Structure 1
Amino acid sequence: MSKVALNRAMPIFRQRKRRKINLPLCECFFAHLRQSFSSHSSSDAEDYRDSDAHTPQSDNYNDARNGFTSDEEEEDDIPLARGIFEGGSEMGSYKQGDATYHILIERLVSSGQFSAMKKVLNRMRKEGRVLQEKLFISIIKSYGNAHMPNEALSFFYEILEKYDCKPSVRSFNSVLNVLVQERLFNEALQFYSDKKAAGIRPNVLTFNILCKALCQCNRVDGAYQLFQEMPTWHCDPDVFTYTTLINGFCKLNRIEEAMSLLDEMQADGCFPNTVTFNAMIHGLCKRGDMIRALKLMDNMLLKGCTPNEVTYNSLIDGFCKQGKLKKASKVLHQMMEKKCIPNTITYSTLINGLCKLGKLDDAAKILSGMLERGCRPNVFTYSTLMSGLCKVGKVQEAIKLWDEMKNSNCETNAFVYSALIDGLCKGGDINRAKELLWEMSEKGFIPNVVTYSSLIDGLCKASNVHDATVVWNEMLDKGHVPNAFSYSILIHGLCEDGNIEEATKIWKNMMDSGCNPDVVTYSALINGLCKAGRMDEAVTLLDEMLCKGCQPDVVTYNTLIDGFCKQNNIYRAMDLVDEMLHLGCDPSFRTCDILMSGLRQCGKIDNAGDFFEELVFRLAKKGRIHGASTVLEALLKKGFVPDIYTWTITVKGLCNLRKVYRAIDDCCTKVYG
């Protein structure tokens, strides 16, 4: 402890190196310092550990404002030797030893010893020493670093009321910044509203702090209102003010307002910087307006702003999301021509875009090129490619990439584990998937509903419904709430296993939990009921589905039509075809196959041609040419020859449709090049 005390004392003597040192006085100082620190440093540390820094902060703004207490009763015996300050002549209003006090306070607050700091301040006040505002600002910032916003707020009011030093806007902004950093946005606004009572005149930094805070919590209109208030305080917005608001508008997809503000900014003589343009370009790319984004980058260059990796990454991401990989690659080449080095985000964005289009080989080449250029992939890079490989069944390649990722000491995450477990389950390697789930839990990554659902789905497809039910119960025991997809998987598995009663029980649990079934869930249970021959219950469930606004799809209708055909109730099956046409659901090849089999089973195959030709006519008349062509193609595959009218109406519709598509393609070519 004596070494610490000596180290703290050294700056005092460095500041006085030009003076003649009083050696007896120094010996007295060091002796007292050793004694004082040995008795006080441990207690001050305990005071800090027991302080409010480690207890929940009060949410009451007035409590913080009025909560400071007088330190008159505190012991003013601080770890300083009185002798070192005695005998020095006064130099104006500044007394010998003030700098030492300031240094000591800064050391105390930087180490979190706020109780000791208060004692030093009290002693300085009693001795009539100079208390400068920069010292108070340092203390406020230290309270912020210690995550003690209420103490920082209380101390601000103590500055005037207790230490007789009128705080300026600098102190005010320091407290404001502490409150915002702790995300106490309402308290920050309340503090700002008290500026008149505190005698503070806000400056541009005050408004910038508040605008940033409001934009962070998506209260952009409030930030814009503050922006409009600035002229009344004779404050001119700077580039940071405009950039914050533009970014806030773009995050909420209010692009036109952001563009208007950018124009206003330049009209007022405030020139946007690279960050401003990047915020606007990112907003346009996020919206998919790539033409304006590219034009804005051209404007950026004309204004003398150099695009950086953030600019190019936004454009590459925008093109990748639209599936325009050639455009994205063009931007990448332009980026490298401008000597702007692509980073991990650049490569990861391209890999993600390629994976979404199924171009996994190209994605793997990008990863190899990335490594060759010395750019280290992150967990997102690896997980994107592994997920893409798993989706197309290339699980072994994904596992190989997984091993490569672990060997490169790249930290993994729950998403990677979930993607691999899903891929292994789809590939039928259930045992390896179980091992990964166990490893995931062992490494502290909590499996989520998606992870469990993947394993349950794999077990059901492997006809191991019993183990799937065990995993389901484990998921519930660990507090995970199943979603509609999870319920659909288990209900479908139970129905396929013939356990319709258990499936119905799970369905009831789903309804009781408040989880709304989707079309997949309804279709799964309808399929189970149809297989069990319980057609009345299946139709009742279809009616319930329609009443709740859930639109049946072609799979739902195919299941019901197949159920009625197997019961030789072909007329009820045809009624369902009429219903699906009325609801805008076109038949598929599977629908046609089911109806053909049903008609043959009932001995009415001779009427099949007439029935399907009428179906083609009805679809074509309603302009549903794809549906009409699907039925016509099914007819041809089954050996039926449509009449000339059926051919004419279908071919005419397809020709008209192709003209429309060709016009759209021509338009896109002219616009995008």
Structure 2
Amino acid sequence: MCVLSARSVSANFVKKFQFLQFNLISAVAQLSSDVSDSCSDEECDNFSKCEVVNKKDLILDTFGVTSHLRSLRGSPCLALSYFYRIREDGFRHSVWTYMAIIRILCYWGMFGEVDSVLLEVIESKVGDLGFGVAELFDALVEELKAERPKALVRALDALIKVHVVLQRFDDATDYLLKASSRGLVPSILTCNFLMNRLIEAGKGDMAAAVFQNLECFQLRPNVYSYCIMIKALFQKGDLEGAVNVLQKMEEVGVVPDAFTYSTCIEGLCLHGGSDLGYKILQAWISSKAAIDVYTYCVVIRGFVNDKKMIEAEGVLLDMEEAGIDPDVYCYGAMLQGYCEAGNVFRSLLLYGKMMKKGIETNCVIVNFVLKCLCRAGFIIDAVHKFIYFRDIGIVLDNVVHNTMIHELCKLGKLEEAMDLFNEMKINTVVPDIVHYTSLINAYFLHQKPGKAIYLFEEMMEMGIKPDIVTYNVLAGGLSRNGLVRQALGVLDLMRTQGLEPTIFTCNAIIEGLCAGGKVKEAESFFRSLKDKGLDNYAAAMINGYCDANMTRDAYKLYVSLTRRGIIVDKKSCLTLLDNLCLDGASREALMVFKDILVSDGIPCQVICGKLIAELCRAEDMKNAQWVFNSMVLEGVLPDVINYTIMLNGYCRLNCLKQACDLFSDMKEQGIKPDIITYTVLIDGHSDMKLKKAQKFDKDPANALTFWREMNEIGLNPDIKCYTALIENHRRPNNIQDAICLFGEMMDRGLEPNTVTYRALLGRYIRWGDVDRALNLFLRC
């Protein structure tokens, strides 16, 4: 081919110029690997022998080079080598010479080389070529508008794709819009490529804009276009939008393929929409489409992540019914779910099923099985399983070893953990920082600081550099064990290792010193951090005071900080509130509660319940009711315990009308009273209290009203409930009822306690029945 090209040059032209040999190898080295595929061996052999005109005699200008390239259009390799050779010899290519070589390469389908040529232009610096990519784009558009050669359209696609590869997304979309505005449309594949890369770069909004403009470009989205858009919407968390795109596909007649369904199902399952993902899977199954194991596994994992293990197991059964065998990843997801839920029985049952099917166990499965056994307290079984897995040849990695060591440490089995740790080293499994940190923490927690320090020093000698987590464990552990000097020395050690102590490090020392009985030292260290901002460490000091049962000091610090405008975090405020309630400081607890309510919203139900109980104990029903109402207003629904505490408070103060109103509200809210609730009401509506209450309420309910209601709903009274009702029968004409209640209680197999005997004994004595009182006393 090279010979034919040389003969096509006129005889006069050959006589006038001397020929030089081109070095083909050096030119080809600059091309992509596709060149060798596009050019025949014969052409390359001929070209290596070919001679071209001497650069001294040939006038190299744009017209001459363009003409010569046109003459070489039948030999693309020759043309490309000529193009690069004259550039090496100092010729400065123009936009027209670039267009000439691009035209040739497109004609021959050498699109890899087109990408390389365009890449040079796009990455060139201003002034290097004398023109920019914008000028090349304009020239390309003009030629396409004039001739519209199909092959050259690929150059427009390549121009956009190269910008995309370089992550110049703004330029890529700009050229896409410019081309469409001038009546030229890149292929849908190019648009798909652009949208996909935009999504990978986290630019889902730009991808959506391109998708929405496809119709303006007179392009019809294909199945892959829709699939990309679905992926973009899931990336944004727009589940509804993604499903709408899937529906639109079907409306416009684009049939979703397996990849589209898989993408949609996976997106839904990853974003909490496993139920809808499962429905799509079932619809897909109904269409008799071939579904792979991966898609089923995605749905299973989605349900597991949503804590819906029954549904996950249902998908597993669907697979088996469809004749598809679940793989190790399906079983792994199920085991993970049961393990996290603490369902040891189901975990081991599923593992046994997996083994019967001959599915090979891997490290992940082993890890879940061992973790399950450890959490259920079957430590010996876990150790035996570990040995079994090791002996049958399963390679147990660091994660499995760490699981065993961590779980053993949590259960206080330090000797077993240390034996396993030493066995690791014997079996050439190199311990990492996680293993060391778990053991160091465990020894500190069990008041064995000497062994913890020894392990830390061993880790350093092994060349394992401690991270911030290890240092925090070390600082906190030394502090809790009362080693003040060593704990503070950790800060200096960190700095020598190039690590700056964090807020967490200092807080670990403060809380640890307080827990270790070194409150004065903790206070001194806390004050030394004044320049760093006490607001970062105040919470730790408050927690430390609470741990040391110095709640009053914690409250004083809290008040001092809030007056200075320093905000204490919610967790520490709740700890303080809890301790104040335990100490009976209802007024101070209420102040902290109000601060939390203003800054962070209502605390949890448990904390509110403790505060209500303390206020009721202090007979401050006004504020107790205010806290109760605040719960309701903030959307924290009181439970039966909260209601019962409030009822008890009202009954103790003989506010029976308020108690009855609250009891009615409780039932209206759908909260079922329990036996304790009825006991409180029966005890609160004794004859004596009713007599006092009648001054304010002419028709209050009595104890028997609640007794009958309790029996009607099927609640069986306990000892306390019987005792309260017996205590209620104070009138002489009620003595027989009290005796009947006592007998009924005995018939039900309930053993009276001292309080019950005392209640009935008191009734006998009050009623003057000395003989029965004596008999009952002897029976006690």
176, 192, 195: which one pairs with 1:140?
A: 195
Change (3 A) 1:288 1:500: closer
Cα deviation per residue 1:389-448 (whole Å; 9 max; x = unaligned)?
Answer: 111122233233234444555565443233212210122122332343566687256433
Q: 1:41 is matched with which residue?
A: 123
- Pairwise mapping of residues 492-503 of structure 1 onto structure 2 (< 5 A)? 495=550, 502=556
Change (3 A) 1:474 1:196: farther
Task: Check conservation: 2:546, 2:576, Cα contact below 8 A.
Answer: no
433, 443, 451: which one pairs with 2:508?
A: 451
183, 196, 208: which one pairs with 1:153?
A: 208
Task: Check conservation: 2:443, 2:449, Cα contact below 8 A.
Answer: yes
Is 1:270 equivalent to 2:305 in the alignment? no
Is 1:516 equivalent to 2:574 in the alignment? yes
463, 480, 484: which one pairs with 2:520?
A: 463
Shift of 1:282: 2.0
- Pairwise mapping of residues 321-470 of structure 1 onto structure 2 (< 5 A)? 321-406=375-460, 408=462, 410=464, 412-437=466-491, 443=499, 446-448=502-504, 451=508, 453-455=510-512, 457=514, 461-464=518-521, 466-467=523-524, 469-470=526-527
More moved, 428-437 vs 342-351: 428-437
Shift of 1:290: 2.6
Shift of 1:376: 3.6
Q: 2:281 is matched with which residue?
A: 227
Change (3 A) 1:119 1:473: closer
Shift of 1:225: 3.6
Is 1:482 equivalent to 2:539 in the alignment? yes
- Partner amino acid, structure 2, of 1:522: L
Cα deviation per residue 1:187-237 (whole Å; 9 max; x = unaligned)?
Answer: 544544543466533233323323323333333333334334435766554
74, 84, 93: which one pairs with 1:32?
A: 93
Aligned mates of 1:409, 1:99 — CA distance in 2: 57
Q: 1:78 is matched with which residue?
A: 136
Task: Check conservation: 2:119, 2:162, Cα contact below 8 A.
Answer: no
- Pairwise mapping of residues 626-637 of structure 1 onto structure 2 (< 5 A)? none
590, 593, 617: which one pairs with 1:543?
A: 617
Shift of 1:622: 6.0
Shift of 1:318: 0.5
More moved, 31-40 vs 169-178: 31-40
Task: Check conservation: 1:215, 1:223, Cα contact below 8 A.
Answer: yes
Change (3 A) 1:500 1:437: closer
More moved, 265-274 vs 364-373: 364-373
Q: Which runs of 5+ in 1 are unaligned?
A: 45-73, 530-538, 551-581, 583-618, 624-648, 650-673
Task: Check conservation: 1:109, 1:139, Cα contact below 8 A.
Answer: yes
SS at match of 2:408: helix
SS at match of 2:520: coil
Cα deviation per residue 1:534-574 (whole Å; 9 max; x = unaligned)?
Answer: xxxxx988935996889xxxxxxxxxxxxxxxxxxxxxxxx
Q: CA RMSD in A?
A: 5.0
Aligned mates of 1:79, 1:7 — CA distance in 2: 27
Change (3 A) 1:8 1:447: farther
Cα deviation per residue 1:469-518 (whole Å; 9 max; x = unaligned)?
Answer: 527867874546838xx63532565949x969836847998999763347
Shift of 1:276: 0.7
Q: 2:39 is matched with which residue?
A: 17
Shift of 1:450: 5.8
Task: Check conservation: 1:358, 1:388, Cα contact below 8 A.
Answer: yes
Change (3 A) 1:269 1:111: same
Larger radius of gyration: 2
SS at match of 1:249: helix
Task: Check conservation: 2:581, 2:614, Cα contact below 8 A.
Answer: no
Q: 2:230 is matched with which residue?
A: 176
Aligned mates of 1:379, 1:270 — CA distance in 2: 42
Change (3 A) 1:502 1:288: closer
Task: Check conservation: 2:443, 2:452, Cα contact below 8 A.
Answer: yes
TM, length-normalised to structure 2:
0.54
TM, length-normalised to structure 1:
0.62
Aligned residues: 507
- Pairwise mapping of residues 200-211 of structure 1 onto structure 2 (< 5 A)? 200-211=254-265
Task: Check conservation: 2:514, 2:547, Cα contact below 8 A.
Answer: no
Q: Which has the higher contact order (CA 8 A, sep 6+)?
A: 1
Aligned mates of 1:357, 1:296 — CA distance in 2: 25
Is 1:195 equivalent to 2:236 in the alignment? no
Shift of 1:123: 8.9
Aligned mates of 2:550, 2:181 — CA distance in 1: 84
- Partner amino acid, structure 1, of 2:434: F
Q: Which runs of 5+ in 2 are unaligned?
A: 1-26, 44-74, 99-117, 127-131, 588-612, 628-640, 643-682, 684-749, 755-779
Change (3 A) 1:223 1:474: farther
Cα deviation per residue 1:75-125 (whole Å; 9 max; x = unaligned)?
Answer: 853379979x99xx99xx852x56666566544322213355457767987
Task: Check conservation: 1:215, 1:245, Cα contact below 8 A.
Answer: yes
Change (3 A) 1:269 1:140: same
Task: Check conservation: 2:223, 2:257, Cα contact below 8 A.
Answer: yes
Aligned mates of 1:412, 1:226 — CA distance in 2: 49
Aligned mates of 2:346, 2:554 — CA distance in 1: 56
